[in-house]
Structure 1
């Protein structure tokens, strides 16, 4: 393999045959193998017989010359939205989008009222009304607490509500994440497993390390290591908001921020 520090995706293993592997892949307490390989770069992958289980392993590598090894992980980052090109004539799809925008604004005005802002309960109503139309999602809808969290994460002026622009941004994100969720919910169960969640996070433009993937599983998965649509969206809303918050505090772009206790508590307690 070529030298890489990034987490390897499923495609890598589909198109690259293993150079050595255990002869019998069976469910035993202990499996040990010894291999002799020519000098090269290799990725070594311990695994359990059943998925989503943890186990200890010992790996010894003997080499004539000094060799280096490290865990393959991603840099922690999020893709920035690309700037839209101007000057082109609107396509049919763009015109449909404009009509959808007008309908969307009318619906928002009916829900929000004179102040043109919506709270958590109103957000829950509008999201669940839309989700009901997507029978293939097989979800019971968003919990009120989930919508409170979404409001807090999208609320840029600290009013406890979100305006039309904030709601539009949230809704556009949810639509794109919904497509990703449906892509990985291949059995139409209404959930995706923790391994599929890694690929879904990657498809959404987030690059995380193994520790963060484990945290997501502990926080959002059920006892069977599955993540439902509500938890999936809440996870992505938080990821998106936390990356935006970090970039806002990271004035010099060095990847390090400094917060006082008030800023820290405001950022964590409200979200």
Structure 2
């Protein structure tokens, strides 16, 4: 079974590596990934994923890195389908609120609306798979950064403007160049 999966992943990797360089660029990966509505993945989401799995920091994904990235995509896909309760292929405010509560976030409906609006690339009031991943990973990353400064676990921090900018910019996985 493991050999069959490895063979499948190798075939997939070779199809995505359209220039046959032995590694996958951000643009090659974007071309290979589609949402349930057949729209291409948001380039920022693709950059974020490459940034997470590019362990040698060369801006591309080799086959070893691709294995981890593909498992990550499959795991997020299962998660997305679990919360897309109406099987519409997108997550609306109610579904996102349910997902975030399940993940342990206690946030207001107003915040969920802001999150959906921020990651809604079509202005339809919901988000596609790629932007769901980006929204969740961004929220997780920002939460970790916040908690690292919430020394007494009070749910609040005091921070000056430059420290705030540093916190947000350094913690956004999609802002690291590729």
Q: Normalised by the size of structure 1, how large is the TM-score?
A: 0.45
Verify the 8 A CA contact 1:139 1:230 in the aligned structure 2: no
* Number of the residue aligned with 1:123: 29
Match of 2:107 among 195, 201, 210: 210
Verify the 8 A CA contact 1:220 1:235 in the aligned structure 2: yes
Matches within 5 A, 1:91-240: 95=1, 97-109=2-14, 111-112=16-17, 113-114=20-21, 116-128=22-34, 137-203=36-102, 206-210=103-107, 213=112, 215-221=114-120, 223-239=123-139
1:177-222: CA deviation from partner (whole Å, max 9, x where unpaired): 222322333433322211211323455xx32231664552342246
Unaligned runs of 5+ in 1: 1-94, 132-136
1:206-249: CA deviation from partner (whole Å, max 9, x where unpaired): 32231664552342246453122231132234456x27x85xxx
Structure 1: distance between partners of 2:93 and 2:49: 22
* Number of the residue aligned with 2:160: none
Structure 2: distance between partners of 1:107 and 1:196: 31
Query: Which of the pair is proportionally richer in helix?
Result: 2
1:74-132: CA deviation from partner (whole Å, max 9, x where unpaired): xxxxxxxxxxxxxxxxxxxxx2x541222202331454434x3211111112223xx6x
Matches within 5 A, 1:76-87: none
Structure 1: distance between partners of 2:44 and 2:78: 23
Matches within 5 A, 1:41-60: none
Structure 1: distance between partners of 2:24 and 2:64: 11
Q: How large is the RMSD of aligned CA atoms in angstroms?
A: 3.9
